[in-house]
Structure 1
Amino acid sequence: MEELSLAGSLSMLSEMRETTSEISGQRIWPGSYLLAEYVHANPDIVTGKRVLELGAGTGLVSLVARLAGATSAIATDGDLDVVTDILAWNVQNNAATNATLGSIDTTSLWWGDASSNEAFRDRFGSNPFDVIVAGDVLYKGELVPLLLSTVLKWMHTAHGTFFLCHIPRADVSHEVLQHELLAHGFSFEVVLDHAAIGTQDAARLPTDCAIDDVIKAKVYRIIHTNVTT
């Protein structure tokens, strides 16, 4: 069990049990931690809003969003073992200590899978989300259109915002991601670039967050092109 302090008054617990079928959900990836930090530093982006996390893994970003004032958060992952083990454990143990905050749920959601999306709709309804978050989830190229189609399906068209922390992995460079965002009808801005991270900043990061990954990270604010800001 690892305790993560994003700020003096904020402590997150993550149980790293190796019983899942895929390593992607068994650790806190750097992009997930950096996005959680961004949400914690900018609580207004989730305060009073419904939040959906895609590729949640440990659920860190959802838990931070709830602490930051989200009215509800749903942490999803495509690996059912992750959902029933590490994600459920983290949510249950952290949510129990802050029972007065907004609701938080966990469930499986396969990007681009019709039956998975239907099951999600049956459980949570068809209302779109104000904010969608995802951190460090694009580690192979075929995931990009699946992620973006899922965002298009579940993000509120009129005022929804998608916050993505991306670290280039495999063939998914920032240039590839940006091209796909535009091709799917999104506009974007980079709201945080970690290229200039210093030694003191690096010292605060969890042991799993390799500095070589962190300096490549960018946090994107993404909206539909027909949304006026």
Structure 2
Amino acid sequence: MTSSDDEDWREEVEYAVGTIRVGTDLQFEIRQMEELSLAGSLSMLSEMRETTSEISGQRIWPGSYLLAEYVHANPDIVTGKRVLELGAGTGLVSLVARLAGATSAIATDGDLDVVTDILAWNVQNNAATNATLGSIDTTSLWWGDASSNEAFRDRFGSNPFDVIVAGDVLYKGELVPLLLSTVLKWMHTAHGTFFLCHIPRADVSHEVLQHELLAHGFSFEVVLDHAAIGTQDAARLPTDCAIDDVIKAKVYRIIHTNATT
């Protein structure tokens, strides 16, 4: 990729605030990057695959939206729990988790610009208009980076989380071990649960993910498979949630093999 390729998609970027509905009763005003042209999208995806740049969190990806829907439909998975979101981007899943009854939520992303310009804005704006939302902390957390994890621990302490959530965050193979090592570091070993909505991208198929989960000492079950999504459900999806992506999505419930539950 050349520097001119970088400039092409960045020169297109514009941000807008739009209404995102989750379920039939929740709606949020979400700031995110507007859809790029085909050339711009290809340029951005190429950079995501080929560099260590963390630039994916500037919009709601389909798997993030689908995970938010799953949490909303199954509030018991977060009620009374401390929740950590990895690769939060816009923070939609954390917003839903907090309204579903999580006692606390921390939304993290590896891109500091995303944290300040998008994630924090969405949390603060929606909290200001919804008195029942409560507080959500936002911060940077770079998977696999010791100094980033240390800064996170200094701010929030070292207590593990009851629930970790992540949606559509694995778009290249090298991210899988980094994500799973971060989950191992921050999830409660005995009773923690990791909910991941995965859509195969690049070389990260469901089979690759499942192999890595087992290799890292996790057990898992697929709790939702979108392959048979109904017409009514599909009609409620945001316009930028491509149905071809949605039908490939699976929501995983992941626990450590030493878990007591």
TM-score of the alignment, normalized to the shorter chain, above 0.5:
yes
Structure 1: runs of 5 or more not aligned? none
Question: Identity, % of aligned pairs?
Answer: 100
Contact 2:87–2:108, Cα closer than 8 Å, also in 1:
yes
For residues 146 and 259 of structure 2, the distance between their equivalents in structure 1, rounded to whole angstroms, comes to 27
The aligned residue for residue 199 of structure 2 is 167
Structure 2: runs of 5 or more not aligned? 1-32
For residues 107 and 194 of structure 2, the distance between their equivalents in structure 1, rounded to whole angstroms, comes to 14
Distance 1:213 1:206, change over 3 A: same
Deviation at 1:124, TM superposition (A): 0.4
For residues 67 and 197 of structure 1, the distance between their equivalents in structure 2, rounded to whole angstroms, comes to 25
Q: Deviations over 1:137-179 (max 9, x none)?
A: 0000000000000000000011000000000000000000000
Deviation at 1:26, TM superposition (A): 1.5
List 4+ stretches of structure 1 deviating above 4 A.
Answer: 1-23
Alignment coverage as a number of residue pairs: 229
Deviation at 1:99, TM superposition (A): 3.7
Distance 1:175 1:24, change over 3 A: same
Deviation at 1:30, TM superposition (A): 0.4
Contact 1:32–1:61, Cα closer than 8 Å, also in 2:
yes
Deviation at 1:111, TM superposition (A): 0.2
Q: Deviations over 1:22-44 (max 9, x none)?
A: 65111110000000000000000
Distance 1:78 1:11, change over 3 A: closer
Deviation at 1:100, TM superposition (A): 4.5
Distance 1:9 1:170, change over 3 A: closer
3-state DSSP of counterpart to 1:81: helix
3-state DSSP of counterpart to 1:8: helix
Deviation at 1:207, TM superposition (A): 1.1
Q: Does 1 or 2 have the higher relative contact order (CA < 8 Å, sep 6+)?
A: 1
Distance 1:4 1:38, change over 3 A: farther
For residues 146 and 217 of structure 1, the distance between their equivalents in structure 2, rounded to whole angstroms, comes to 21
Contact 1:3–1:11, Cα closer than 8 Å, also in 2:
no
Deviation at 1:227, TM superposition (A): 1.2
Distance 1:4 1:164, change over 3 A: farther
The aligned residue for residue 178 of structure 2 is 146
- TM-score, length-normalised on structure 2? 0.79
Q: Deviations over 1:65-96 (max 9, x none)?
A: 00001010000000000000010110001122
2:161 is the counterpart of 1:129: yes
Tell me how large the CA RMSD over aligned residues is: 6.6
Deviation at 1:228, TM superposition (A): 3.1
Contact 1:4–1:206, Cα closer than 8 Å, also in 2:
no
The answer to which of 77-86 and 16-25 deviates more is 16-25
